[in-house]
């Protein structure tokens, strides 16, 4: 189902709230994910616009999955039976300045939330490369930005409201539920339907973004730590060719003691003289402002602007997390594969993420570097290449991004998550019969 058909269906339902859920189904056209590489396994998509509707729907179904904004590249959100969308539930529920917390409906995107927060003097600690994604979907897969001291986006979650398989509303909080809360936050959609999320907020801040071109690989080898810690958030983009990194994106907070001194050269890289796209040949129109122009945090932390297509559009993505102390050998292991990788690549990105305590986060108890690949949309070629990359990164216990494409065996994947047995036990308390499980979860998390 294309976006227009989806919106038409959603607005028809909002206009006629008493319509039978069954009428909302079966448009005949199966929806696809954002990249268009995956057609979901059913056309039965139900947009819910209230908690009661969510509960009623969940009680009636034997199997279902929730769709966020459909930005995952694999089948983690897929269902062969029924899909539930919370897109119509996208309001801010409460802003609590004293507690530094905002509670939102689960259908809300960062693109909707951020300007709301900024207008009221608040900010989130970090954002992904794009604001188009739903808060619930992003946190469920441990979506991240960059920054040595910045945990992934799920680390900002302080409370969740979840409809479990019985249709009951369960409330969990960081303060009140300790370990089971930490198990539920990166929940991979396995525990139930998140209907509300509370996030930590902080006073709003201003940022500047500079881009440098052509960082010599030799400088990266000698100064990796200094480069990564030079600002609040640092992203390295590379096509792995010519012993250099094509672009370095430096996002700094404009505050006393934080300012990044934007010299014309940065470890041998040259400051760009115009805004750039991470893929230098593409127009920078879709990208956030660079060249040191000050702006609000939510218009500098992402690489891409709301209202434009993020990244390249027709693409595939993979990403692997390795422990931060092994960042350099892992990067060099991929660099050695350059002549196999580059022909299928649009661009790679290297980011750092702080450690957290969330059971299914790739950064559980370890700071990480994430090596990302935006691929040309040629799945047979990418599928043949991923095992080669995974083999090279295996000595570093590389963990794949939950929402992107990977080929490693489920048993190997499971061995990388020490809290996985706890997670499956926790999930079963919410969903004893596997109502929220799909092929992805059965294969990668629950089997074995
Ligand atoms: C162009 C592009 C750029 C990206 N950049 C980044 C990046 O910078 N960093 C990064 O880490 N990732 C990035 N991603 C990946 C993306 O952030 C993740 O795939 C994220 O999960 C997308 O959120 P979504 O709402 O689209 O999720 P969906 O794909 O819709 O769903 C993801 C999972 O969340 C579950 N889910 C969604 N909503 C709910 C709910 N209300 N209750 C329970 N479960 C729910 C789904 O069932 C599914 O399991 C990028 C993806 C794209 C397409």
Three-state SS for 392-437 is HHHHHCCEECCCCCCCCCHHHHHHCCCCHHHHHHHHHHHCCCCCCC
Is 1 strand, coil or helix? Answer: coil
**Distance from the CA of 323 to the center of ligand 1, in angstroms?**
23
How far away, in angstroms, is 203 Cα from ligand 1 center? 26
> Relative to the CA of 144, which ligand 1 atom is closest?
11
- Answer yes or no: is pLDDT of 296 > 80: yes
Could you count the other beta carbons within 10 Å of the beta carbon of residue 41? Answer: 17
Whose CA is closest to atom 11 on ligand 1?
143
Residue 237: predicted pLDDT: 98
Question: What distances in angstroms separate CA 382 from CA 315, 373, 385, 411, one per listed residue?
Answer: 11, 10, 5, 21
Please tell me the distance from the alpha carbon of residue 344 to that of residue 163, in angstroms, as a whole number. 41
Q: Which of 73-77, 88-92, 228-232, 307-311 has the lowest mean pLDDT?
A: 307-311
3-class SS of residue 106? coil
Least confident window among 7-16, 64-73, 151-160, 273-282? 7-16
Cα 238 versus chain centre, distance: 20
Question: Ligand 1 centre and the CA of 18: distance in Å?
Answer: 30
Q: Which atom of ligand 1 is nearest to the CA of 143?
A: 11
Residue 9 scores a pLDDT above 70: no
Q: 96-121: per-residue pLDDT in tens?
A: 999 999 999 999 999 999 999 999 99
Ligand 1 atom closest to residue 440's alpha carbon, by position in its atom list: 49
Residue-wise pLDDT for 201-236, tens only, equals: 999 999 999 999 999 999 999 999 999 999 999 999
Give the mean pLDDT of 340-344: 98
Confidence of residue 310 (pLDDT cuts 50, 70, 90): confident
Measured distance CA(361)–CA(355) in Å, rounded: 9
Q: Per-residue DSSP letters for 237-300?
A: EE-S-TTEEEEEEEEEE-STTT-----SEETTEEEPSS---SSTTS-GGGBPP-TT--EEGGGT
Cα–Cα distance, 150 to 146 (Å, whole number): 7
Angle between helices 379-393 and 327-335 in degrees, nearest 10: 140
Q: How far, in Å, CA of 106 to CA of 162, rounded? A: 10
CA of 76 to the centre of ligand 1 (A): 9
- Kindly give the distance from the C-alpha atom of residue 139 to the centroid of ligand 1, in angstroms, as a whole number: 8
Measured in Å, residue 135 CA sits from the centre of ligand 1 at: 8
Tell me what pLDDT residue 312 has.
66
- pLDDT level of residue 252 (50, 70, 90 thresholds): very high
CA-closest residue to ligand 1 atom 32:
137
Query: What ligand 1 atom has the least distance to the C-alpha of 302?
Result: 8
Instruction: Give the number of the atom of ligand 1 that is nearest the alpha carbon of residue 76.
Output: 49
Q: What percent of the chain has pLDDT over 70?
A: 93
What pTM was computed for the model? 0.94
Residue 3 pLDDT greater than 80, yes or no: no
* Per-residue pLDDT at 313: 73
Which atom of ligand 1 sits closest to the CA of residue 68? 30
Contacts of 438 (CB under 8 A, 6+ apart): 63, 65, 75, 76, 78, 79, 80
Which phi and psi angles does 424 have, rounded to 5°? -65, -35
Say how many Å lie between the CA of residue 242 and the centre of ligand 1. 33
**Residue 314 — very low, low, confident or very high, per pLDDT cuts 50/70/90?**
confident
- The pLDDT, as a whole number, for residue 306 is 85
- Best mutation site among 34, 74, 139, 143 for ligand 1 pocket (most ligand atoms within 8 Å of CB): 143
Which atom of ligand 1 is found nearest the CA of 140?
A: 34
Could you identify the atom of ligand 1 that is nearest to the CA of residue 401? Answer: 11
Q: What's the confidence (pLDDT) of residue 13?
A: 40
10-48 pLDDT per residue, tens: 444 433 333 344 345 566 789 999 999 999 999 999 999
Q: What is the pLDDT, as a whole number, of residue 10? A: 45
How far is ligand 1, taken at its centre, from the CA of residue 195, in Å?
A: 16
- The number of the ligand 1 atom at minimal distance from the alpha carbon of 303 is 8
Out of 71, 163, 361, give the residue to mutate to test ligand 1, the one with the largest number of ligand atoms within 8 Å of its CB. 71
pLDDT digits (tens, 9 = 90+) for 274-283: 999 999 999 9
Question: What's the pLDDT at 230?
Answer: 95
Q: For residue 2, what pLDDT band results from cuts at 50, 70 and 90?
A: very low
pLDDT at 122 over 70: yes
**Which of 401, 403, 406 has the most ligand 1 atoms within 8 A of CB, as the residue to mutate?**
403
Question: Residues with Cβ within 6 A of ligand 1?
Answer: 34-35, 65-72, 76-77, 86, 106, 128-130, 133-134, 136-138, 140-141, 143-144, 188-189, 193-194, 310-311, 401, 403
User: Could you give the CA distance from residue 221 to residue 88 in angstroms, rounded to a whole number?
Assistant: 48
pLDDT at 258: 60
Q: Dihedral sign, CA of 123, 126, 131, 137?
A: negative
Rg of the chain in Å (alpha carbons):
21
Instruction: Quote the ligand 1 centre to 73 CA distance (angstroms).
Output: 9
**Most informative mutation of 31, 33, 68 for ligand 1 (most atoms within 8 A of CB):** 68
Residue 216 Cα distances to 80, 92, 247, 383, angstroms: 48, 45, 10, 30
Find the 257 Cα to ligand 1 centroid distance in Å.
34
Give the pLDDT score at 5.
Answer: 46
Task: Report whether pLDDT(297) > 70.
Answer: yes
More confident residue, 438 or 306: 438
């Amino acid at each position: 189902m294309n976006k227009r058909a989806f919106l038409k269906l959603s607005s028809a339902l909002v206009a006629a709230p008493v319509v039978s859920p069954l009428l909302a189904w079966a448009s005949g056209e199966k929806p696809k994910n954002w990249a268009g590489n995956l057609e979901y396994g059913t056309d039965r998509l139900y947009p819910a616009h209230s908690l009661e509707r969510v509960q009623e729907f969940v009680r009636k179904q034997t199997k279902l999955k929730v769709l966020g904004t459909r930005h995952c590249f694999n089948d983690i959100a897929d269902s062969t039976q029924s899909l539930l969308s919370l897109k119509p539930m996208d309001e801010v529920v409460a802003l609590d300045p004293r507690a530094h917390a905002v509670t939102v409906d689960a259908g809300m995107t960062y693109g909707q939330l951020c300007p709301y927060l900024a207008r009221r003097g608040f900010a989130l600690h970090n954002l992904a490369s794009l604001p188009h994604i739903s808060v619930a979907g992003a946190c469920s897969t441990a979506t991240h930005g960059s920054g040595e001291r910045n945990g992934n986006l799920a680390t900002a979650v302080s409370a969740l409201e979840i409809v479990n398989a019985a249709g009951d509303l369960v409330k969990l909080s960081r303060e009140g539920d300790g370990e089971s809360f930490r198990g539920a936050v990166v929940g991979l959609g396995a525990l139930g339907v998140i209907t509300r999320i509370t996030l930590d907020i902080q006073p709003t801040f201003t940022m500047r973004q500079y881009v440098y071109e052509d960082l010599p690989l030799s400088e990266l080898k000698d100064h990796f730590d200094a480069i990564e810690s030079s600002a609040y958030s640092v992203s390295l983009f590379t096509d792995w060719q010519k012993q250099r990194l094509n672009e370095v994106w430096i996002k700094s907070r404009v505050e006393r003691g934080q300012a990044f001194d934007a010299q014309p050269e940065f470890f041998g890289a040259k400051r760009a003289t115009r805004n750039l796209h991470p893929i230098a040949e593409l127009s920078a129109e879709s990208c956030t402002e660079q060249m040191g122009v000050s702006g609000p945090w939510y218009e500098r932390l992402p690489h891409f602007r709301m209202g434009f297509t993020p990244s390249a559009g027709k693409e595939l993505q993979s990403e692997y997390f390795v422990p931060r102390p092994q960042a350099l050998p892992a990067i060099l292991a991929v660099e050695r594969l350059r002549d196999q990788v580059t022909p299928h690549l649009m661009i790679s990105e290297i980011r750092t993420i702080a450690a957290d305590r969330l059971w299914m986060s790739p950064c559980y108890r370890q700071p990480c570097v994430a090596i990302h690949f935006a691929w040309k949309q040629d799945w047979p070629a990418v599928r043949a290449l991923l095992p080669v990359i995974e083999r090279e990164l295996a000595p570093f216990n590389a963990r794949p991004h939950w929402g992107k494409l990977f080929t490693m065996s489920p048993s190997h994947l499971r061995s990388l998550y020490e809290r996985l047995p706890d997670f499956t036990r926790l999930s079963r308390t919410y969903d004893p019969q596997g109502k929220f499980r799909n092929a992805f979860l059965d294969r990668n998390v629950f089997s074995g």
